[in-house]
Amino acid sequence: MQLIRSDIHYDFIGKRKFALLVSGIMILISLGALAAKGLNFGIDFTGGTLVEVKFTPAPSIADVRSAISPKGYGNAMIQEFGTPEEILIRVQNKESEESSTISNAILDGLSEKFGADAIEMRRVEFVGPQVGEELTRAGIMAVLVAMLAILVYVTFRFEFRFAIGADAALLHDITIVVGLFALTGKEFSLPVIAALLTVIGYSLNDTIVVFDRIRENFEANRKRKKPEEETAVVNNSINQTLARTLMTSLTTLLVVLALFILGGEVIHDFAFALIAGIVVGTYSSIYVASPVMISLAGRFKSDEDEVKAMEARP
């Protein structure tokens, strides 16, 4: 069964100006949301206290919140952890407030409402502001190092303009996904950083598949008596890889959607970042990476030896 015909020929490159306009609007909205609302950083970055409690029987989130509100923690983030009986409570520490004080106050509030026999304190973790700052720097550095490594790799494997196109697509994807977190107010935590790095790898994989076909077709086109325009070669290459790109994205998206729907609150934000990244990454591998690469044609001259060396690369 063939879901996408092999002879399909859609003018992707002809629509590149409109697509880049759409991308520009999405990036502006993302940057505006980041400037106006900012990110809802988790305690991994801001510092705070995490309390894990087991209940018998499982409580509702509303009841847990009403139990700790009189203690001054009504704004705590409360979520299920694995099972409905396991509850995670995340609290931002007030100035000079110790984690032991917070955990004891939360335990007292829960005991008063549910009874001491119905609850069991599993763990208490504290992330200090200093650690939060270090994690923030490490997260940003991880993304920047990944982008730089990709720039070097794609330059070696293809050409410098291909590398610029690939990095432009990745920057586009990361900006929009992070902007979605700002717009929705979802918690931005270390698992989300892991999801962003996964998105970078996934988006790059899609882009490399398209670029590899473009390179093959460029080489074949140079040997013709009447070579086609680069835009036509690139458009043909995108159409040739379209079935693979869409089917890979669809099957991956189905798995991540299952995680998002069935995986529980703990990995909800992680799965959300992956879903957004897969959708945006598929779009950018077609409408951002290749058009940017084409727009740089002739900007970075290669002599004949360099062209031959590029064609000889695996």
CA–CA distance from 268 to each of 79, 82, 182, 258 (Å)?
Answer: 11, 12, 16, 11
Cβ count near 223 (within 10 Å): 7
Q: Is the pLDDT of residue 226 over 90?
A: no
Q: Which is nearest to 207 in space by CA: 158, 143, 149?
A: 158
Structure-token pair, residue 290: 């290749």
Q: How far apart are CA 213 and CA 158, in angstroms?
A: 11
What burial class does residue 237 get, using C-beta atoms within 10 Å of its C-beta: 0-12 exposed, 13-18 middle, 19+ buried? buried
- For residue 275, what are its two tokens? 């879903």
160-190 pLDDT per residue, tens: 888 888 889 989 999 999 999 999 888 888 8
Taking only the tens place, the pLDDT of each residue in 61-70 is 888 888 888 8
Residue 174, pLDDT score: 92
Beta carbons of 170 and 270 less than 8 angstroms apart: no
DSSP code of residue 93:
P
Predicted confidence at residue 173, as pLDDT, reads 92
Per residue in 134-162, pLDDT (tens digit) is 777 877 788 788 878 877 887 787 788 88
The two tokens of residue 254 are: 């189905």
Between 28 and 86, the more confident residue is 28
Interval 44-61: pLDDT, tens? 777 778 888 888 888 888
pTM of the model: 0.76
Domains in the chain (CATH in brackets) are 13-40+132-312 (1.20.1640.10), 48-127 (3.30.70.3400)
| Residue 27 to residue 66: CA distance in whole angstroms | 40
Could you read off the pLDDT of 90-134 as tens digits, one per residue?
887 766 667 678 888 888 888 888 888 888 888 887 766 555 667
pLDDT band at 300 (very low <50, low <70, confident <90, very high): low
pLDDT at residue 311, as a whole number: 52
pLDDT category of residue 77 using cuts at 50, 70 and 90: confident
Residue 127's H or E segment, with its range, is strand 119-127
The pLDDT, as a whole number, for residue 147 is: 78
Cα dihedral 12, 14, 20, 22, rounded to 10, equals: -80
Instruction: Share the mean pLDDT of the chain.
Output: 82
C-alpha to C-alpha distances, 36 to 28, 39, 75, 140, 237, nearest whole angstrom: 12, 10, 22, 20, 40
Rg (CA), the chain: 25
Query: Please, are residues 130 and 46 in contact by the beta-carbon 8 Å criterion?
Result: no
Query: Of the ranges 50-54, 212-216, 247-251, which one carries the lowest mean pLDDT score?
Result: 50-54
